[in-house]
Amino acid sequence: MIGYLKGPGRVWVGLALGAVVLFVLAPSVLSDFRLMLLGKYLCFAMVAVGIGLAWGRGGMLVLGQGVFFGLGAYLMAMHLKLSDAGPGKAPDFMLLYGSGVVPFWWEPFRSPVVTLVAILLLPAAIATVLGLAIFRRRVKGAYFAILSQALAAAFAILLIGQQTTTGGTNGLNGFRGFLGYNLFDPVNKQLIFSIAAAVLLAMLLLTWHLYRSRYGELLVAVRDQEERVRFLGYNPANIKLVAYAIAAAMAGVAGALFVPIAGIISPADVGVVPSIAFIIGVAIGGRNTLLGPVLGTILVAYAQTTLSEQFPGFWTYFQGALLILVIAFLPGGLASLWTVVKRGRRPGPPSAAPMAAAAADPALASEQKVSI
Amino acid sequence: MAIRTDYLEVRGLTVSFDGFKAVDAVDLTVYQSDLRFLIGPNGAGKTTIIDALTGLVGATGSAKFGATELIGRKSHQIARLGVGRSFQTASVFTELSVLQNLDIAAGAKRSPLALLGVRRGIPDIVSKALETISLTAEVNKPAGVLSHGQKQWLEIGMLLVQDSQVLLLDEPVAGMSADEREQTGQLLKQVGADRTVIIVEHDMEFMRRFADSVTVLHGGKVLSEGSVAQVQADPRVQEVYLGRANATPDLAEAMEPADNPADESAPSPRAKV
Ligand SMILES: Nc1ncnc2c1ncn2[C@@H]1O[C@H](COP(=O)(O)OP(=O)(O)OP(=O)(O)O)[C@@H](O)[C@H]1O
Ligand SMILES: [Mg+2]
């Protein structure tokens, strides 16, 4: 019961702390360059929040979130390219590599409203269609993981092949404005950063509510005993579908915000490697917790920037080693470090006792064995 | 809960696995408040009958509850029609609390909007079930820390809040202590008063104590059916359980050592869900 009272309080304190850091501290101490870097991490963290929901709570190892991230990103990038080009004109790279004729499926994204709606709905809609096909057929576990991974690979290959309409390997870049604001102006950079921070916090709030809701409990039930849930009269496919679609929508929004912050989107940002990197951050942070995925992802992204600046080529190995260490010795991720230290012994298999707190407040659940 | 007088009527139920008939033209009629025990040696097809009635395996023939045909429907639809089952190995949600387990079981008909809400307090139907299964004190404990017997009771409680009119229980007292068996028997009598109940059991003593009627299954077919006394006196039943006819007439003595349900090392024909 104490856990229950402390739980919501802890989350509010955490979110308030996050707000102070992101809205006040970061803009005042970080250079514009570093601020944009952090902004990129925040976008990755949004994807991570969705992965926490789908994988941590729903048991779906979503190894292909790069697809939805990429969808959101390319939608936004198309709009920025078109608005940079001006009404009726074609983006620069089309003039350079192609015929200079804007393809019909680009045209709707001249409108900021259409673009925004598409960013919010298209990734979720595609996830719904995919999810219906996958979950109704009871594809799960490693098969699901491989399928989503293959999707990311296919998506990247598709993009690379369309040099004249998607920019191919180079992707889309060189954006000058965002909804009429000059992207080179530091004030506007800070504004975009603040938008990303606000969106991330809003996603955390939404996810926190989902974790506490009856739906959140049901999702855990499906994760642990899908068949049992079926015999209680639920269709587990629909329950999983909701989490999968929300995770996709979060990744899509993340991608859309990534574009004006990073100034580029290319197949390298949406394929297999970034998709796995998302998962690694979540696993390291603690997939079953609310804040673990966010902190883990920011930490990993930060480490990647720093280490690959200093020791190029070394990062991949380090990342792999880190993942193995966490899975072997800290299956609940860094978020479970607290519980482990408190118990004063090495983490054994998750015992039921710490889960009592989780039962009262799922947002606190911190221990979870990693299974694929 | 409205009293229903519907009964379960199974006709010609057949389940084949690659040509092997695990259940072969089984007829069963079970009325409300008649605690029906389904017994038979390992591999007789008892679990497969429950699987067929709940849509887990495909079957031919017919199984009606009231006017509703069950065969051919999906598992979750059958559950919504009021046919609930338990599993040979207790399968509660170990990481969720007793309350959460029951609340989920009670909620299959909740609207999406209601699902997105946070539960406030304990729903009436859940607190009633908690009393019935004597787990009120355990309400906030994770189901994983319950004793084996308590887990089975929680399963029964979940069937109750699910508003199941037909309960199909697969070895509910396996591995329980004598005390727990007695309590479970009383519980089943109580909940069976206004429901249709089929209990699959190996424990003959338990069966003799609580069965109103018995169906003996062998090789996928119904071998014998009737009261406990009638079934026990049936020479075909004795033959199946003893391997030869006209040995010890006392079924309980004969079957107990051969089919100890608590014996975890007994070869399992397949992984249970
Ligand atoms: N999915 C399946 N595929 C193939 N054969 C199966 C399958 N399920 C059950 N069988 C076979 O069907 C027969 C009946 O099995 P069932 O599990 O119904 O027996 P049971 O009466 O419940 O036995 P027990 O008392 O050991 O639980 C067995 O021979 C079993 O091997
Ligand atoms: Mg069985």
Q: What number is the average pLDDT over the span B146-164?
A: 93
Of B140, B162, B184, the position where a domain reaches its end is B162
State residue B230's pLDDT score: 93
Our CA-based measurement puts residue B42 at a distance from the nearest CA of chain A, in whole angstroms, of 23
Q: Kindly state whether residues B248 and B187 are assigned to the same domain.
A: yes
Ligand 1 near B261 CB (within 6 A): no
**Record: contact A234-B76, CB cut-off 8 A:** yes
Q: Kindly state whether residues B38 and B66 are assigned to the same domain.
A: yes
Residue B248 has pLDDT above 60, yes or no: no
Our CA-based measurement puts residue A357 at a distance from the nearest CA of chain B, in whole angstroms, of 9
Confidence of residue B129 (pLDDT cuts 50, 70, 90): very high
Q: Which residues contact A287 (CB under 8 A, 6 or more apart)?
A: A51, A52, A55, A56, A293, A333, A368, A370
Q: Kindly state whether residues B74 and B191 are assigned to the same domain.
A: yes
Dihedral pair phi/psi, residue B81, rounded to 5°: -80, -5
Cα A289 to averaged position of ligand 2 atoms, centre (Å): 38
Residues of chain A in contact with residue B104, where contact means CB-CB under 8 angstroms, are 214, 217-218, 221, 229, 232
**Record: contact B95-A224, CB cut-off 8 A:** yes
Select from A1, A212, A359 the Cβ nearest to the Cβ of B142.
A359
Ligand 1 near B232 CB (within 6 A): no
| Domain-embedded: residue B44 | yes
Q: Kindly state whether residues B177 and B266 are assigned to the same domain.
A: yes
Alpha helix positions (H), chain B:
46-53, 75-80, 98-105, 112-115, 124-132, 148-161, 178-192, 204-210, 228-233, 235-242, 251-255
Average pLDDT, chain B: 87
Ligand 1 near B165 CB (within 6 A): no
Of B122, B142, B162, the position where a domain reaches its end is B162
**Tens digits of per-residue pLDDT, B70-94?**
999 999 999 999 999 998 887 899 9
Output the tens digit of pLDDT for each of chain A's 372 residues: 333 435 677 788 888 999 999 999 999 999 999 999 999 999 999 999 999 999 999 999 999 999 999 999 999 999 999 999 989 899 988 888 878 889 999 999 999 999 999 999 999 999 999 999 999 988 888 899 999 999 999 999 999 998 888 999 999 999 998 877 888 888 999 999 999 999 999 999 999 999 999 999 999 999 999 999 999 999 999 999 999 999 999 999 999 999 999 999 999 999 998 999 999 999 999 999 999 999 999 999 998 888 887 887 788 788 788 878 887 888 888 888 877 776 665 444 443 333 333 333 333 333 333 333
| Domain-embedded: residue B87 | no
Select from B75, B145, B273 the Cβ nearest to the Cβ of A352.
B145
| Domain-embedded: residue B11 | yes
Of B111, B143, B162, the position where a domain reaches its end is B162
**Record: contact B96-A227, CB cut-off 8 A:** no
Gap between the Cα atoms of A137 and A142, Å rounded:
14
**Record: contact A233-B162, CB cut-off 8 A:** yes
Residue B206 has pLDDT above 90, yes or no: yes
State residue A6's pLDDT score: 54
Gap between the Cα atoms of A209 and A250, Å rounded:
15
Q: Kindly state whether residues B68 and B202 are assigned to the same domain.
A: yes
- Report the atom number in ligand 1 closest to the C-alpha of B269: 31
Ligand 1 near B109 CB (within 6 A): no
pLDDT top residue among A140 and B254: A140
Smallest CA–CA distance from A350 into chain B, residue:
B95
Q: Kindly state whether residues B14 and B136 are assigned to the same domain.
A: no
Residue A105 near chain B (CB below 8 Å): no
State residue B224's pLDDT score: 93
Q: Kindly state whether residues B241 and B192 are assigned to the same domain.
A: yes
Q: Is the dihedral of CA B104, B106, B112, B114 positive or negative?
A: negative
State residue B4's pLDDT score: 52
| Domain-embedded: residue B252 | yes
Gap between the Cα atoms of B112 and B90, Å rounded:
28
Q: Kindly state whether residues B75 and B126 are assigned to the same domain.
A: no
Q: How many domains does chain B have?
A: 2
Q: What range does the domain containing B31 cover?
A: 1-82+168-273
State residue A348's pLDDT score: 43
**Record: contact A218-B107, CB cut-off 8 A:** yes
Q: Kindly state whether residues B111 and B240 are assigned to the same domain.
A: no
Confidence of residue B245 (pLDDT cuts 50, 70, 90): very low
**Record: contact B104-A217, CB cut-off 8 A:** yes
Ligand 1 near B58 CB (within 6 A): no
Confidence of residue B243 (pLDDT cuts 50, 70, 90): low
Q: Kindly state whether residues B194 and B254 are assigned to the same domain.
A: yes
- Report the atom number in ligand 1 closest to the C-alpha of B18: 4
Ligand 1 near B47 CB (within 6 A): yes
CB A93 within 8 A of CB A170: yes
State residue B268's pLDDT score: 40
